[in-house]
């Protein structure tokens, strides 16, 4: 092929292309850094506003608790509940119109007092429950109560301004009326002031403060008298004097405050973010845009850290953040916030535009200087160019070229360049040969794994989970609703059915986890195994504090791998050691490293029951167990998961043991330099 154009023009073109590429890379890097700065500012703003939202809600809750305790401890409020308690018991013993009217009259008087509290405290509703069932309630728009009609209790609506015609002679004229959605028909009995969170309807949240009232009861002329009334606490629900009767909870006042989208819009106006309030499981929400809770946050119910990220909702893109708010020991609420990326990007575009203009000016100056410098260069490289262009560098022809390569014609820089070129061609040929086979092998493995995972996930999700949930749910309903009609054997059988279905569900979850471990993306980095093992051991101690067990973890256990997968591996190994030492009064677990056959290996050793080495080949096979479930619970997936993780890191795992003398599990994790080349 005849060369066209001078060496100078080609070098100038190469220089121009290089300078342009460098300028573009610098511009892109500048834009990226500016974007990251804007993103960091957005995430910082979201974090601050989520903490502020939590503080505001906490202040609202504390204020509501204070109002509830003050109102419930008022002498007139306590007296109303004592009378209603006595009248309710009397009505249950002997029903007649006089009793019904008396009880209705007392509820009416209580409603008048509750209505005054409702208005002064700016509550959404105030209700009274007896034996966990709604007795009467008041909201800003209506009031209602439960009255006896015939043989059943019927909810009715009353006026907010009661007249002589309404009470009690007009009782039968009050229409039946279901309480509004914000009023719960039943509240579980509690023994202390409790906070509840409920989503009674879409886009509506109710914060409830339940105040239980305790009293000492006595019988007087066939009536039950309630005395010594006070707000109940676990410490106070004991006899007031030695040998005396213990106080009992006679009723509950429930103070409620409702939050709707108006609250969110006010928060947005103050903070500029789009807030959201969601249930702990993420299924119920009060929000302005449909942000979704990350699955990783839902799967860690004890994690109260702020989770930040981005999401596309409709045709808009948002920065979003979530935080779990634990309301004491009573309830949990998920707090969320979103921030539109459009406003943030507008500022970034202006900054990037000026950066591009500056880069264009620099590029023009560089082109001019490059032209001057290239003009001064000599042109001896034409010979090498001719030699190089006489050969095609396609992979299929590299072998032919290497049989008769271009020989250096001089011992100068051009000769060195020719020698380096031939050496590069040889290395490229060797790398390409192995790379093509590796690509074919890896592609086939990946396609097979993906196909198996898709089939497995589909079967588990659609064919196994639904019948198991049905079996567990109906057996639970049968046990709860008809358990008293069954003998001990019947209830035992139902519990075994539930236990088997729950075990199967756990087995399915473990199978899915094994599949995910096999498919998860690998992100290699330096990993501190000592820190990971310590975290797992601390969690085991918290979950089983009564065990007398010594866990020894060697310091500075460093490895290269995916931190998330290695943590899963250590959780399975340490859980295994913890489980199989449970029969020991005093046990020891050790994590460390050693050199085995010239290779560094890590180990987890215990002094538990051990196993027969004749069955060691079954250890890492899914569902293969060397002990029965009655001896040691489990699904037989843990060690299979360990092997899969170690193999994905290019390592090897094995075990050594002796019956009743413990077991040791070894695994290797090659360093980055020991891994096969990507070429």
Full-prediction pTM beyond 0.85?
A: no
pLDDT tens digit string along 219-231?
A: 877 778 888 888 8
Residue 164 lies in domain: 7-377
- DSSP assignment of 435-482 equals HHHHHHHHHHHHHHHHHHHHHHHHIIIIIIHHHHHHHHHHHHHHHHHH
pLDDT tens digit string along 90-121?
A: 877 776 777 778 888 888 888 888 988 988 88
| pLDDT (0 to 100) of residue 624 | 63
Buried b (16+ CB within 10 A) or exposed e, 500-532: ebeebbebbebbbebbebbeeeeeeeebebbeb
Compute CA distances 152 → 92, 146, 148, 155, 665, whole Å.
11, 10, 6, 10, 67
Give CA angle at 256 (255, 262), nearest 5°: 155
The answer to whether position 418 is within a domain reads no
Alpha helices in 549-637 (DSSP H): 563-580
| pLDDT (0 to 100) of residue 567 | 87
Compute CA distances 167 → 82, 144, 162, whole Å.
21, 13, 7
Tokens of 676: 């096969």
What DSSP designation does 401 have? H
CATH number for the domain that contains residue 558: 3.30.565.10
| pLDDT (0 to 100) of residue 1 | 40
What DSSP designation does 371 have? H
Exposed, middle or buried: residue 563 (CB in 10 Å: 0-12, 13-18, 19+)? middle
The answer to whether position 98 is within a domain reads yes
Provide φ and ψ at 95, rounded to 5°. Answer: -90, 130
Q: Is the dihedral of CA 153, 159, 160, 166 positive or negative?
A: negative
> Of 551, 558, 563, 577, which is closest to residue 639 (Cα–Cα)?
577
Query: What's the gap between Cα 476 and its chain centre?
Result: 27
Task: Say how many C-beta atoms besides its own lie within 10 A of residue 238's C-beta.
Answer: 9
Q: Are 337 and 49 in contact (CB under 8 A)?
A: yes
| pLDDT (0 to 100) of residue 570 | 92
Q: Are 499 and 471 in contact (CB under 8 A)?
A: no
| pLDDT (0 to 100) of residue 371 | 66
Tokens of 520: 């998860």
C-alpha–C-alpha distance, residues 570 and 559, integer Å: 13
The answer to whether position 415 is within a domain reads no
Crossing angle of the two packed helices 488-519 and 465-482, in degrees rounded to 10: 150
What are the residues facing 147 on neighbouring strands?
A: 154
Provide φ and ψ at 558, rounded to 5°. Answer: -105, 140
Final residue belonging to a domain, choices 377, 395, 412: 377
Q: Are 145 and 137 in contact (CB under 8 A)?
A: yes
Final residue belonging to a domain, choices 377, 400, 419: 377
The answer to whether position 455 is within a domain reads no
| pLDDT (0 to 100) of residue 560 | 92
Beta pairing, strands 653-657 & 599-606:
unpaired
Exposed, middle or buried: residue 214 (CB in 10 Å: 0-12, 13-18, 19+)? buried
| pLDDT (0 to 100) of residue 678 | 36
C-alpha–C-alpha distance, residues 650 and 644, integer Å: 10
Starting at the edge strand found earlier in the chain, the sheet holding 587-596 runs 549-553, 587-596, 599-606, 663-667, 653-657
C-alpha–C-alpha distance, residues 351 and 172, integer Å: 75
Number of domains in the chain: 2
Query: What's the gap between Cα 608 and its chain centre?
Result: 34
The answer to whether position 135 is within a domain reads yes
Final residue belonging to a domain, choices 323, 344, 377: 377
Compute CA distances 42 → 128, 293, 334, 343, 660, whole Å.
45, 18, 20, 10, 58
| Residue 168, preceding peptide bond in cis (omega within 30° of 0) | yes
Residues in the chain, pLDDT under 70: 1-12, 15, 27, 30-38, 95, 150-151, 159-173, 237-244, 343-352, 355, 367, 370-415, 417, 425, 429, 450-451, 453-466, 499-520, 622-636, 672-679
> Of 189, 227, 223, which is closest to residue 79 (Cα–Cα)?
227
The answer to whether position 433 is within a domain reads no
Q: Helix, strand or coil for residue 205?
A: strand
> Of 121, 120, 151, 156, which is closest to residue 135 (Cα–Cα)?
156
C-alpha–C-alpha distance, residues 242 and 262, integer Å: 54
| pLDDT (0 to 100) of residue 31 | 64
The answer to whether position 426 is within a domain reads no
Alpha carbons within 13 angstroms on the beta-carbon side of residue 616 total 15
Q: Are 639 and 617 in contact (CB under 8 A)?
A: no
| pLDDT (0 to 100) of residue 330 | 79
C-alpha–C-alpha distance, residues 654 and 543, integer Å: 28
Alpha carbons within 13 angstroms on the beta-carbon side of residue 459 total 10
The answer to whether position 513 is within a domain reads no
- DSSP assignment of 617-635 equals GGTTSTT--SS-TTTS---
């Amino acid at each position: 092929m005849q060369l066209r154009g001078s060496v100078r023009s080609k070098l100038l073109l190469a220089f121009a292309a290089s300078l342009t590429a460098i300028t573009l890379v610098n511009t892109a890097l500048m834009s990226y850094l500016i974007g990251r700065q804007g993103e960091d500012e957005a995430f910082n703003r979201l974090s601050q506003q989520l903490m502020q939202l939590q503080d505001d809600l906490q202040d609202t809750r504390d204020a509501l608790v204070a109002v509830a305790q003050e109102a419930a401890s008022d002498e007139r409020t306590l007296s109303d509940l004592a009378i209603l308690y006595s009248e309710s018991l009397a009505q249950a013993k002997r029903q007649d119109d006089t009793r019904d009217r008396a009880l209705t009259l007392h509820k009416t008087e209580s409603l008048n007092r509750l209505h005054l509290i409702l208005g002064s405290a700016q509550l959404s509703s105030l209700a009274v429950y007896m034996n966990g069932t709604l007795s009467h309630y008041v909201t800003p728009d209506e009031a209602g109560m439960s009255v006896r009609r015939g043989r059943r209790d019927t909810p009715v609506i009353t006026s907010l301004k009661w007249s002589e015609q309404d009470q009690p002679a007009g009782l039968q004229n009050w229409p039946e009326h279901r309480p509004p959605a914000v009023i719960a028909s039943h509240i579980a009995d509690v023994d202390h002031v409790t906070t509840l969170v409920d989503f009674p309807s879409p886009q509506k949240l109710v914060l409830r403060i339940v105040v239980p009232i305790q009293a000492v009861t006595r019988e007087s002329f066939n009536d039950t008298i309630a005395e010594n009334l006070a707000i109940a606490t676990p410490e106070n629900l004991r006899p007031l004097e030695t040998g005396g009767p213990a106080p009992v909870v006679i009723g509950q006042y429930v103070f409620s405050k409702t939050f709707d989208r108006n609250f969110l819009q006010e928060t947005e106006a103050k903070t500029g973010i789009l807030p959201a309030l969601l249930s702990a499981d993420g299924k119920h929400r009060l929000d302005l845009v449909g942000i979704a809770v990350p699955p990783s946050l839902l799967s860690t119910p004890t994690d109260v850290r702020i989770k930040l990220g981005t999401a596309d909702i409709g045709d808009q893109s948002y920065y979003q953040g979530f935080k779990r708010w634990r309301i004491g020991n009573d309830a949990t609420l998920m707090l969320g916030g979103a921030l539109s990326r459009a406003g943030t990007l507008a500022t970034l575009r202006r900054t990037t535009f000026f950066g591009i203009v500056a880069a264009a000016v620099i590029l023009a100056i560089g082109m001019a200087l490059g032209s001057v410098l290239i003009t001064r260069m000599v042109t001896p490289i034409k010979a090498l160019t001719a030699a190089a262009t006489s050969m095609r560098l396609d992979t299929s022809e590299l072998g032919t070229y290497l049989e008769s390569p271009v020989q250096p014609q001089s011992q100068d820089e051009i000769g060195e360049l020719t020698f380096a070129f031939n050496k590069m061609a040889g290395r490229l040929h060797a790398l390409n040969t192995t790379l093509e086979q590796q690509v074919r092998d890896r592609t086939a493995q990946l396609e097979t794994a993906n196909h198996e995972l898709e089939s497995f996930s589909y079967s588990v999700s659609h064919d196994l989970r639904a019948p198991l949930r049905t079996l567990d749910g109906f057996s639970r309903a049968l046990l709860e609703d008809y358990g008293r009609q069954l003998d001990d054997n019947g209830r035992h059988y139902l519990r075994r059915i539930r236990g088997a279905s729950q075990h199967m569900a756990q087995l399915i979850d473990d199978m899915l986890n094994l599949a995910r471990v096999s498919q998860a993306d690998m992100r290699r980095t330096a990993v501190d195994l000592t820190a990971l093992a310590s975290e797992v051991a601390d969690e085991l101690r918290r979950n089983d504090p009564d065990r007398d067990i010594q866990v020894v973890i060697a310091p500075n256990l460093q490895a290269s791998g995916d931190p998330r997968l290695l943590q899963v591996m250590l959780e399975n190994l340490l859980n295994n050691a913890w489980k199989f030492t449970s029969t020991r009064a005093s046990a020891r677990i050790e994590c460390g490293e050693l050199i085995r056959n010239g290779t560094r290996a890590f180990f987890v050793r215990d002094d538990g029951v051990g196993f027969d080495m004749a069955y060691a080949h079954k250890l890492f096979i899914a569902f293969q167990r060397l002990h029965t479930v009655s001896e040691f619970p489990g699904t037989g997936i843990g060690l299979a998961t360990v092997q899969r993780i170690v193999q994905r890191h290019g390592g090897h795992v094995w075990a050594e043991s002796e019956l009743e003398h413990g077991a040791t599990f070894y695994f290797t994790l090659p360093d980055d330099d020991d891994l096969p080349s990507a070429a």
